[in-house]
Amino acid sequence: MCLGCGRARTDIYMAHRGAMVSIASAAGEFSLPTPTGESDSLSTELSSLKLDFFNVFKGATPRKPTCLYFTQGCCTMMDQSDHLDTHTHGFLELNTKSFDLSKVQPQDFDYFLVLDLEGNIEILEFPVLLIDAKTLELVDFFHRFVRPRKLRKERLDQNVEQHFGKFGINSIWHETAILFKDVIPQFEDWLAKHNVLTKELGGHLNKAAFVTCGNWDIKTKIPDQCRVSRMELPPYFMEWINLKDIYLNFYGWRGRSMLAMMGQLQMPLVGNHHLGIDDATNITRILQRLIVDGSVLRITARRNSDKKVEFLFENRIW
């Protein structure tokens, strides 16, 4: 992961929850201009933040691993105390009880769908958290491991080991992963259950928007996977909110990655970086912080009629 975008980089390796995590930092990455367009009090508060990238890891308390059967709706050990003692079944880090909502502004949407795909060749993991835009509470979650359509067994095993081996979840992935063409109907049923997707809107979202950390997930990867899976691109993947652009325009800081934004906000990492369900949780925490501080989340990118992507913010992360 390169945070420097072409600049000289230094690789730092740290142990986190028993796995080696690689962090790339770059000279100047964390320079902090004065936030623009905000009140003096907010500018003073934000400018006082100490830019320490290691705040992402400093203060992070050891946490029981998430039960990845639970997140996929298939845990059969919820009545076994030893399992409950060793695995997390929920998203306690998204608790909103301590939030000061006095600065919260009305949003353009009722719900946010926080999406963070994993997988380089084909999608390997598809997690989405449904967040209430008014209360910032987690409403529900959808999580599936995705089995590539084209990879042969040896290449597939290598790809899964490379991506998930450090987390020790290969066996769970192999046991539960299903094809992308089977994930999407399940996802649509889940959206419909929450009235976020309705037939009356022609397959478009109902007062909801996807939120991603970057444009890659919906701009590039989902269309690519649809082509590989011989599927039409669903119409609800036509627009999204890139949280990096919202962050840049609200705080005036260039957070080129999830870890960069968390470091600037002095927010410790929860779970494992590059495990999609954990990354979606951390992206949601950044989203909650933005809204608590007074940001309004708006669509940042949209596909037009000829499927070309239009970026709607002049000031954006390239």
| Range picked from 4-8, 11-15, 33-37 for highest mean pLDDT | 33-37
Structure confidence by residue, pLDDT tens digits, 24-63 = 333 333 334 434 444 454 444 444 444 444 556 555 556 7
Q: How far is CA 305 from the centre of its chain?
A: 27
Q: How confident is the model at residue 262 (pLDDT cuts 50, 70, 90)?
A: very high
Would 186 be classed as within a structural domain?
A: yes
Q: Does residue 11 form part of some domain?
A: no
Residue 6 inside a domain? The answer is: no
| Catalytic residue (choose from 143, 163, 273, 274) | 274
Helices (H), the chain: 40-47, 81-86, 153-164, 170-176, 180-193, 222-228, 243-251, 258-264, 276-292
- pLDDT tens, position by position, 116-148: 999 999 999 999 999 999 999 999 999 999 999
Q: How far is CA 178 from CA 103, 124, 160, 173, 221, in A?
A: 42, 9, 14, 9, 17
pLDDT at 12 over 80: no
Quick check: 3 pLDDT over 80? no
Give the Cα separation of 221 and 215 in Å (integer).
9
Catalytic one among 29, 38, 118, 125?
A: 118
Amino acid 59: pLDDT: 55
Q: For residue 274, indicate whether it is catalytic.
A: yes
Distances (CA, A) of 251 to 20, 273, 290: 31, 24, 9
d(CA 243, CA 248): 9
Contacts for 229 with CB less than 8 Å, ≥ 6 apart: 149, 179, 180, 181
Would you say residue 217 lies in a domain?
yes
Instruction: Find the domain containing 153 and state its range.
Output: 38-311
**How would you classify residue 44: left for phi > 0, otherwise alpha for psi between -120 and 50, otherwise beta?**
alpha
In a domain, 32, yes or no: no
Residue 98 inside a domain? The answer is yes
- First CA to last CA across the chain, in angstroms? 15
Band (pLDDT 50/70/90 cuts) for residue 64 is confident
CATH number at residue 265: 3.30.420.10
Residue 120: C-alpha distances to residues 25, 160, 183 (Å): 22, 10, 18
Examine residue 1 and state whether it is found in any structural domain, yes or no.
no
115 lies in some domain: yes
Which residues, in sequence order, are CB contacts of 79 under 8 Å at separation 6+? none
Q: What is the pLDDT of residues 144-194, one digit of tens each?
A: 999 999 999 999 999 999 999 999 999 999 999 999 999 999 999 999 999
Domain count within the chain: 1
**CA 294 to CA 316: how far, in whole Å?**
19
Model confidence over 66-118: pLDDT tens digits?
Answer: 999 999 999 999 999 999 999 999 898 899 999 999 999 999 999 999 999 99
Q: Is the pLDDT of residue 280 over 60?
A: yes
